[in-house]
């Protein structure tokens, strides 16, 4: 396992290099620039601003200079808000996005796992049809539709929850539900299918023949094997929770890193875009590595392989 984790960590380096290179050139190929929309600024002033931020240098030299700064831990200043560096803005905004992602993951697991277990426990009954119908609905409704619907029902009509903000615990319920609902639906369906397959295997029949209770058979013997597809899904699900937070943060006015990325993309803030993409990439790869380690813990065959 130690060698496996070490190889995966070393693989981060070329992957991050490719991500940084593609992002750097793609954002500069987009039309417009960080100071193109400035008003009442002379051409000379624009040239001085470009020289100050090294934007007048050849593109490849800008790329090499950025890589040199990145190797030293310097992501540069924000081009649109130079009062702070990109790293400082990320340190301020990232905890909010991570908190939202954790809440969304908790909602997905707390809703999806019980629904999938209940459906597999009593297949082809109303206990199966009801949660799977809700899961299919959750898959079909995207979060940019679900979010406004939840606001309309629970905030506008019923007045139970606030519309926006990110201060009190009640402010975080609707964003977490919006972000986690679709992944709860996928987890429910994966859990049902996997648990049904495990419950038909020979070792489950043996456990039942020994007189073990159905609850113990399902939750202790069957669920551990059934969780492997769910754990494998948590890697891309975590990536989806992070990228999906862009939309959710925009809907609910959450001051997270997703909102900053959208602002940076609209304002052509090159350094902020680069820093945000880099941080999200590192987080996603780290979560994927964690999922692989958990899978190896669940399945000893993977450890030996």
Q: Which of 6, 41, 71 is the last residue of a domain?
A: 71
2 located within any domain = no
Inform me whether the pLDDT recorded for 199 exceeds 80.
Answer: no
What's the pLDDT at 304? 59
Domain shared by 169 and 263, yes or no = yes
The band of 145, judged by pLDDT with boundaries at 50, 70 and 90, is: confident
Inform me whether the pLDDT recorded for 179 exceeds 70.
Answer: yes
249 located within any domain = yes
37-70 tens-digit pLDDT: 656 666 777 777 777 777 777 888 888 888 888 8
The band of 299, judged by pLDDT with boundaries at 50, 70 and 90, is: low
Domain shared by 36 and 91, yes or no = no
Sign of the torsion angle spanned by Cα atoms 196, 202, 205, 210:
negative
DSSP result, 205-264: HHHHHTT--HHHIIIIIIHHHHHHHHHHHHHHHHHHHHHHHHHHHHHHT--SHHHHHHHH
Residues 164-174, mean pLDDT to the nearest whole number: 83
9 located within any domain = no
Residues 88-103, mean pLDDT to the nearest whole number: 88
Domain shared by 139 and 288, yes or no = yes
How far is the CA of 69 from the CAs of 27, 63, 65, 66, 152, in angstroms?
Answer: 18, 10, 6, 5, 47
**CATH number of the domain residue 224 falls in:** 1.10.3720.10
How many domains, in total, are found in the chain? 2
Dist. CA 296–CA 19, nearest whole Å: 27
How far is the CA of 241 from the CAs of 61, 108, 281, 283, 284, in angstroms?
Answer: 36, 10, 13, 11, 10
Dist. CA 57–CA 50, nearest whole Å: 9
- pTM (2 decimals)? 0.77
Q: Which two tokens stand for residue 156?
A: 């506008």
Domain shared by 155 and 219, yes or no = yes
Dist. CA 161–CA 150, nearest whole Å: 10
Domain shared by 178 and 281, yes or no = yes
Residues 83-94, mean pLDDT to the nearest whole number: 86
Average pLDDT, the chain: 81
Domain shared by 141 and 252, yes or no = yes
Residues 172-179, mean pLDDT to the nearest whole number: 89
What's the pLDDT at 27? 86
Residues 6-32, mean pLDDT to the nearest whole number: 85
Residue 57 φ then ψ, to 5°: -75, 160
Domain shared by 65 and 120, yes or no = no
pLDDT over 90 percentage in the chain: 1
Q: Find out whether 135 and 185 touch, Cβ atoms under 8 Å.
A: yes
- Which residue's entry shows tokens 């990536």? 239
For residues 165 and 273, which has the higher predicted lDDT (pLDDT)?
Answer: 273
47 located within any domain = yes
Dist. CA 217–CA 143, nearest whole Å: 36
77 located within any domain = no
Which of 143-147, 170-174, 253-257, 288-292 shows the lowest per-residue confidence on average (mean pLDDT)?
Answer: 288-292
What's the pLDDT at 18? 92
What's the pLDDT at 249? 85
DSSP class of 77: B
10 located within any domain = no
Domain shared by 44 and 112, yes or no = no
The band of 221, judged by pLDDT with boundaries at 50, 70 and 90, is: low
Residues 112-137, mean pLDDT to the nearest whole number: 84
Q: Could you tell me the residue range of the domain that residue 50 belongs to?
A: 16-71
Inform me whether the pLDDT recorded for 305 exceeds 60.
Answer: no
Dist. CA 266–CA 261, nearest whole Å: 9
Residues 216-237, mean pLDDT to the nearest whole number: 74
Dist. CA 187–CA 119, nearest whole Å: 12
7 located within any domain = no
């Amino acid at each position: 396992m130690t060698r496996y984790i070490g190889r995966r960590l070393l693989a981060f380096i070329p992957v991050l290099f490719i991500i940084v290179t593609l992002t750097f050139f793609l954002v500069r190929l987009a039309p417009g620039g960080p100071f193109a929309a400035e008003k009442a600024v002379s051409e000379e002033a624009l040239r001085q601003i470009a020289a100050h931020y090294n934007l007048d240098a050849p593109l490849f030299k800008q790329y090499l200079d950025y890589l040199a700064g990145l190797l030293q831990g310097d992501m540069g200043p924000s081009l649109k808000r130079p009062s702070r560096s990109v790293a400082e803005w990320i340190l301020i905004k990232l905890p909010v996005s991570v908190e939202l992602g954790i809440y969304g993951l908790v909602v997905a697991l707390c809703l999806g796992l019980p629904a999938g277990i209940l459906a597999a426990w009593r297949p082809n009954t109303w206990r199966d049809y009801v949660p799977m119908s809700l899961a299919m609905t959750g898959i079909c409704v995207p979060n940019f539709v679900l979010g406004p619907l939840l606001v309309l029902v629970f905030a506008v009509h019923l007045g139970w929850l606030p519309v926006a903000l990110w201060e009190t615990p009640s402010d975080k319920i609707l964003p977490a539900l919006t972000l986690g609902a679709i992944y709860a639906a996928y987890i429910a369906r994966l859990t049902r299918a996997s648990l049904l397959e495990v419950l038909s295997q020979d070792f489950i029949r043996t456990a039942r023949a020994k007189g073990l209770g159905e609850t113990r058979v399902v939750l202790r013997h069957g669920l551990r094997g059934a969780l492997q597809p769910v754990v494998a899904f948590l890697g891309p699900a975590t990536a989806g929770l992070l990228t999906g937070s862009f939309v959710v943060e925009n809907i609910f006015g959450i001051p997270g890193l997703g909102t900053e990325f959208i602002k940076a993309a609209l304002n052509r803030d090159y350094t902020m875009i680069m820093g945000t993409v880099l941080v999200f990439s590192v987080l996603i790869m780290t979560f994927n590595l964690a999922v692989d380690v958990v899978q190896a813990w669940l399945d000893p065959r993977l450890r030996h392989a």
